[in-house]
Amino acid sequence: MKTTLALALAASTALATSAIAQDISEFRIGILGGENTQDRMTSNECLREKTEELLGVETKLFAPADYNGVIQGLLGGTIDMAWLGASGYAKTYLEDPEAVEPVLVKVNLDGGYGYHSIGFARKDSGITSLEDMKDKVFGFGDPNSTSGYLIPSIEIPAEIGATMQSGDYFGEVKFTGGHEQTIVAVNNGDVDGGVTWADGLGNWEDGYNSGALRKAVDAGLVDMNDLVEIWKSKPIPEGPVVLRSALPEDVKLKMTGLMASLKSMDEECAYGVLQGDAKGFMPITHDAYLSIIEARKAKSN
Give the mean pLDDT per block of 10 residues along the chain (301 residues): 47 43 86 79 96 98 92 97 96 98 96 96 98 98 95 97 97 96 97 97 97 94 98 96 97 98 96 94 96 90 68
The helix/strand/coil state of 219 is: coil
Q: What pLDDT is attached to residue 4?
A: 46
Q: What pLDDT is attached to residue 35?
A: 61
Q: What pLDDT is attached to residue 11?
A: 47
Contact residues for 82 (Cβ-Cβ < 8 A; gap 6+)? 29, 30, 31, 32, 70, 73, 74, 241, 242
Instruction: Enumerate the β-bridge partners of residue 197.
Output: 117
Q: What pLDDT is attached to residue 38?
A: 87
* Plot region of 200 (φ>0 → left; ψ -120 to 50 → alpha; else → beta): left
Q: What pLDDT is attached to residue 40?
A: 86
**Distance from C-alpha of 244 to C-alpha of 102, rounded to nearest angstrom:** 9
Q: What pLDDT is attached to residue 236?
A: 94
Does pTM surpass 0.75?
yes
